[in-house]
């Protein structure tokens, strides 16, 4: 990847995108390519007539052509949906570490593929808001505080989730974090208002036949670990989960899978929380051919309402494919523990790394047998969730000509939701029927 010459003054607004591109040239060539592509597109709208700007943009175009040849055959370069999923996954990962990285401009790059969904719009606003805050602190000779500031109403206006501070984890529910007040020594910029995404409508589906809604359930509090001198994202998530379990004894989102199952089971004995089963069944019935299924996000307000209904054990009525897909992704993302279990996840990853069948449609080596043996050691509810999810995913991939969600595109979405490597995820996606269906409940394949 060749570097680009000095940027002319008239094109300074695109400097951020060029900088991000160069920083990721070796780490992620796809991000490098699309950031430069966006920079060229934006730069031509700013100034394509002055000699300096024309020379600079020409050099970027030459770099893009060279990069395109080097990356020939990459789906993330030739298919917009795969490219969008790749950039979105990369940007959201950076957002989790916003103290060290600014994903706002990467999310700008996503506008190449169409209008941003509601959640990414809020993410971009927060990233730029945070950058303005740091700029103001440095301008005033102050030291910026890492992470979200305490007691800021501006963050509540953005409707972004703010992890609790270590000393608040056991006493403040995350939903109430925006209401807390605390003095701040820094001047914070006002945050922009959050847009409201349009609603979609589809025929309503009746309540799932297997649903069972208990009136009450026992609590399952989790003790928060003592904070270290330097908190990591995992520390924040652990504190968040501890606060949730301590405050609420009814949630099915954001609690361990076994707890969610006990609070919202299916009466026929299948080891899945009924809301998960509803979502998979709805997409299987109405959304296998829907373009962008699992990629296109539902409005956050819809998902918030559906999650609240499930948390209070009320019937969850789905009437939109993207609502069902989005609710399932949200459930998976909010699981406090890895679906492969925190203890066994590394074992799965090490086994997958030894697989020599990466270019084949299915794994035919010893690795498949080793993974199958490890899967049999998982808790029954974890095994069942994986079976339903990946056999359902194979149905999505089988309809990729219409829904545009092949292995690469769906894999990026599930990687973000499940927090496992692309290599392991690909093995599961291509081998789910062999790895998961034989030891699972016979209804796994039949019901989806």
Tens of pLDDT, residues 18-47:
888 888 888 888 888 888 888 888 888 888
Instruction: Tell me how far apart the alpha carbons of residues 440 and 171 are, in angstroms, rounded to a whole number.
Output: 40
| pLDDT above 70: percentage of residues in the chain | 59
Tell me what pLDDT residue 119 has. Answer: 64
pLDDT band at 107 (very low <50, low <70, confident <90, very high): low
Quote the pTM value: 0.52
- Choose among 435, 399, 423, 413: nearest CA to 349: 423
Instruction: Tell me how far apart the alpha carbons of residues 26 and 3 are, in angstroms, rounded to a whole number.
Output: 12
**Crossing angle between the packed helical segments 407-418 and 422-436, to the nearest 10 degrees:** 100
Mean per-residue pLDDT, 262-290: 92
Structural tokens at position 53: 């700007």
Residue 57 pLDDT greater than 80, yes or no: yes
Using alpha carbons, list the distances in angstroms from residue 144 to 105, 133, 147, 149.
21, 8, 9, 10
- Residue 76 contacts residue 82 (beta carbons within 8 Å): yes
Tell me what pLDDT residue 242 has. Answer: 55
User: Which range has the worst mean pLDDT, 205-219, 272-286, 371-385?
Assistant: 205-219
φ/ψ bin of 313: left (φ > 0), alpha (ψ from -120 to 50), beta (otherwise): left
- CA-based torsion, 119, 122, 126, 132: positive or negative: positive
DSSP per-residue string spanning 3-63: ---PPPGGGGGGHHHHHHHHHTTTT-HHHHHHHHHHHHHHHHHH-SSSHHHHHHHHHHHHH
C-alpha dihedral (351, 353, 358, 363), degrees to nearest 10: 0
Mean per-residue pLDDT, 56-71: 86
Mean per-residue pLDDT, 417-436: 87
Residue whose entry in the numeric block shows the structure tokens 């959640």: 119
Mean per-residue pLDDT, 324-339: 95
Residue 443 pLDDT greater than 60, yes or no: no
- Residue 409 contacts residue 295 (beta carbons within 8 Å): yes
User: Domains in the chain and their CATH numbers?
Assistant: 9-140 (1.25.40.270), 252-436 (1.10.555.10)
Helix (H, G, I), strand (E, B) or coil at 211: strand
Cα angle 89, 93, 96; round to 5: 145
Mean per-residue pLDDT, 256-275: 90
pLDDT band at 14 (very low <50, low <70, confident <90, very high): confident
- Choose among 8, 107, 111: nearest CA to 57: 8
Tell me what pLDDT residue 277 has. Answer: 94
Mean per-residue pLDDT, 126-136: 66
């Amino acid at each position: 990847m060749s570097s680009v010459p000095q940027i002319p003054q008239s094109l300074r607004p695109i400097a951020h995108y060029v900088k991000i591109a160069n920083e990721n040239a070796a780490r992620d060539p796809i991000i490098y390519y699309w950031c430069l592509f966006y920079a060229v597109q934006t730069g031509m709208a700013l100034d394509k007539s002055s000699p300096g700007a024309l020379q600079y943009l020409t050099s970027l175009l030459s770099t893009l052509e060279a990069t395109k040849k080097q990356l020939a055959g990459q789906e993330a370069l030739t298919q917009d949906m795969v490219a969008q999923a790749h950039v979105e996954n990369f940007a959201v990962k950076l957002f989790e570490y916003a103290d060290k990285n600014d994903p706002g401009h990467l999310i700008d790059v996503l506008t190449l593929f169409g209008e941003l969904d509601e959640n990414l719009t809020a993410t971009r606003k927060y990233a730029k808001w945070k950058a303005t805050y740091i700029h103001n602190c440095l301008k005033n000779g102050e030291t910026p505080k890492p992470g979200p500031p305490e007691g800021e109403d501006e963050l509540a206006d953005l409707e972004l989730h703010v992890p609790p501070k270590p000393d608040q984890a056991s006493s403040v529910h995350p939903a109430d974090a925006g209401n807390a007040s605390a003095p701040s020594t820094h001047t914070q910029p006002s945050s922009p208002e959050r847009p409201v995404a349009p609603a979609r409508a589809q025929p309503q589906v009746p309540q799932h036949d297997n649903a069972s809604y208990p009136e009450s359930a026992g609590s399952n509090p989790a003790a928060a670990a003592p904070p270290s001198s330097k908190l990591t994202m995992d520390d924040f998530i652990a504190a968040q989960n501890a606060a949730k379990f301590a405050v609420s004894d009814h949630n099915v989102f954001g609690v361990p899978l076994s707890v969610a199952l006990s609070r919202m089971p299916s009466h026929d004995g299948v080891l899945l929380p009924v809301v998960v089963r509803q979502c998979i069944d709805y997409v299987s019935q109405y959304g296998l051919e829907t373009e962008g299924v699992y990629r296109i996000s539902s409005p956050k307000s819809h998902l918030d309402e559906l999650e609240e209904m499930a948390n209070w054990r009320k019937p969850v009525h789905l009437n939109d494919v993207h609502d069902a897909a989005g609710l399932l992704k949200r459930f998976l993302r909010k699981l406090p523990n890895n679906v492969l279990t925190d203890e066994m996840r590394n074992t799965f990853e090490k086994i997958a790394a030894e697989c020599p069948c990466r270019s084949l449609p299915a794994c035919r080596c010893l690795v498949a047998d080793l993974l199958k043996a490890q899967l049999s050691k998982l808790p029954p509810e974890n095994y069942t969730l994986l079976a339903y999810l990946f056999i359902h995913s194979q149905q999505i991939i089988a309809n990729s000509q219409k829904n545009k969600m092949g292995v690469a595109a769906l894999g990026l979405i599930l990687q973000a939701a499940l927090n496992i490597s692309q290599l392991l995820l690909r093995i599961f996606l291509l081998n789910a029927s062999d790895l998961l269906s034989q030891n699972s409940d016979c209804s796994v394949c039949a019901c989806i």
